Amino acid sequence: MGRILFILVLLAVSFYVVKLIRTKMDEAPKEIKKDTKSTNNNMVKCLHCGLHIPEEEAIKQGDKTFCSLEHAKEEL
Ligand SMILES: [Zn+2]
């Protein structure tokens, strides 16, 4: 009887550990996704017209950002 109880406790503990690992594994990719999403959606303001555009689409002149080459040229 004592042996069965020991096996049951062992099973319960192993299930708990597996569950704990699974929840940790599920959380990790979500955090990575969140980070990439926030960097991809980083909006910058055009110094000329004030339009907000994604950072990767912006024209950069030093530390200044513009929505188009025309606006970048007008500010220089
Ligand atoms: Zn502009």
Q: Do 27 and 62 lie in a common domain?
A: no
34 and 66 housed in the same domain: no
Residue 48 alpha carbon to ligand 1 centre in Å: 5
Spatial separation of the C-alpha atoms in residues 26 and 8, rounded to whole Å: 27
- Together in a domain, 35 and 60: no
Distance 40 CA to ligand 1 centre (A): 20
Regarding whether 46 and 29 lie in a shared domain, the answer is no
Rounded Cα distance between 49 and 56, Å, is 18
| pLDDT in the model for residue 25 | 84
Express each pLDDT in 24-76 by its tens digit: 888 776 666 655 555 557 899 999 999 999 999 999 999 999 999 999 999 87
- Please tell me the distance between residue 35's alpha carbon and the centre of ligand 1 in angstroms: 28
10 plus 26 within the same structural domain: yes
Domain with 74 in it = 42-76
| Exposed e or buried b per residue across 30-59, where buried means at least 16 C-beta atoms within 10 angstroms of its C-beta | eeeeeeeeeeeeeebebbbeeeebeeeebb
Domains: count for the chain: 2
Same domain, 19 and 47: no
Which residue did the predictor score with more confidence, 2 or 15? Answer: 15
Specify which residues 61 forms β-bridges with: 64
Tokens matching residue 64: 């200044």
